[in-house]
Structure 1
Amino acid sequence: MNKRTLIACFLILLGICLMLMKGETLNAGELIGLFWPSLFAIPLSIFFHWLYFFMLAPKAPGVLIPGGILLTAGIVCQIGMLFGNWEYLWPGFILAPAVGLFEFYWFGGRNKWLLIPINILTIVSLLFFALFSLGSLFNQMVGGGKTVIAAVLIIVGALVLFSKKRSI
């Protein structure tokens, strides 16, 4: 990475920080607290990927496992730190080992047995993402009309239960 790229990344992060502040003052500790994933976790993951692709390939694909885990967890943490929506992002931590194992599978010996934990972790993570995101969306859409929707569901359920079966 050259000096120009580092300066560009710093300016982009500083611009994001200034946009999020909206007139508030921010000291160095708060800045590090806000961007710690971009300062520590993501660069370390990039180092592991660089180590494999430029130094060790194809001999040691095992370094991609911590690289993928740190990259995914770093992205999840950075989004959580910027937007404060941790209640929706936590399934990303279940997805992180799946990403690391998938990189190991893809660039390693393609051991088909690795696909079992990869698929289990991915499906569980996506299921939790969907449940919590859709649940939150449903709660926002419904708002104060929960009682009305509950009553409608009870009435429809009772009608279905006590209605006569029709023969087709």
Structure 2
Amino acid sequence: MMKRTILAPLLILLGAYLLLNQGGTVGPGTIFATFWPTMFVIPLGLFFHWMYFSLVGRKGIGLLIPGGVLLTAGIVSQIATLFDSWGSMWPGFILAAAAGLFEFYWFGSRNKWLLIPINILTVLSLLFFVVFSIGPVMSYLSFIQPVIAVMLVLGGAWLILGRRRHS
């Protein structure tokens, strides 16, 4: 059972990588360079969660902070590595700190003062995600700019010519 739980996600990731990397070279170096978060960071975050929920009987609440941080940072790193988007994914590391603190809040004593840094970090992260994602999105939409310009010119001309006929 344990072998299937570990082997299944690895086979799925390897298959997805091979599909995405058609025509490229595949070797231990490229697989390691692409999936290092899945091999090291995410399992460590899951290990901290497993320790909290299974081993220590929910008494070691402090294990959830590094568990949440490592799990979120691992997911962010994996996405950034797969899509080569480090320039727009770096705010995920700020969100990772918020995720670890939120787990500590949710499963702990629910100290309301923890919500202040959680909300500040979350809003800051989302703000940076939006700001640093606008540029790449606008560059993808750059082919629409001439169409919008022509539509604006035609709309202005229609307004000018349309008023003259009715006057």
Under a length normalisation based on structure 2, what TM-score does the superposition of the two structures give?
0.82
For the pair 1:114 / 2:114, whether they are aligned, the reply is yes
- Residue 165 of structure 2: aligned partner: none
1:30-109 equivalences in 2 (<5 Å): 30-109=30-109
Q: Which amino acid aligns with 1:76?
A: V
User: Partner residue of 2:5?
Assistant: 5
Amino acid in the other structure paired with 1:8: A
Partners of 1:6 and 1:56 lie apart in 2 by 23
1:139 Cα offset (Å): 3.6
How far residue 83 of structure 1 moved from its aligned partner, in angstroms, is 0.9
Residue 144 of structure 1 and its aligned partner are, at CA, apart by 8.8
Offset from partner CA, 1:41-62 (integer Å, 9 cap, x none):
0000000000000122331110
User: What amino acid sits opposite 2:68 in the alignment?
Assistant: G
Partners in 1 of 2:83 and 2:140 — Cα distance?
A: 18
- Which amino acid letter does the alignment assign opposite residue 86 of structure 1? W
TM-score, normalization by structure 1: 0.81
Question: How far apart are 1:145 and its partner, in Å?
Answer: 4.7
- Shift of the alpha carbon at 1:24? 1.9
- Aligned partners of 2:8 and 2:59: how far apart in 1? 34
Tell me how large the CA RMSD over aligned residues is. 2.0
Gaps of 5+ in 2: 153-167
Distance in 2 of aligned mates of 1:133 and 1:24: 28
- Percent identity between matched residues is 57
- Runs of 4+ in structure 1 off by over 3 angstroms are 142-146
Higher mean alpha-carbon deviation, 94-103 vs 3-12, is at 3-12
Q: C-alpha distance in 2, partners of 1:109/1:84?
A: 39
Whole-angstrom distance in 1 between the partners of 2:133 and 2:82: 18
Once the two structures are TM-superposed, the CA of residue 21 in structure 1 deviates from its matched residue by 1.7
In structure 1, what is the Cα distance between the partners aligned to 2:21 and 2:48? 33
Q: Which runs of 5+ in 1 are unaligned?
A: 153-168
Measured in 2, the distance between the counterparts of 1:65 and 1:26 equals: 36
Greater mean alpha carbon deviation, residues 130-139 or residues 87-96: 130-139
Task: Report how many residues are paired.
Answer: 149
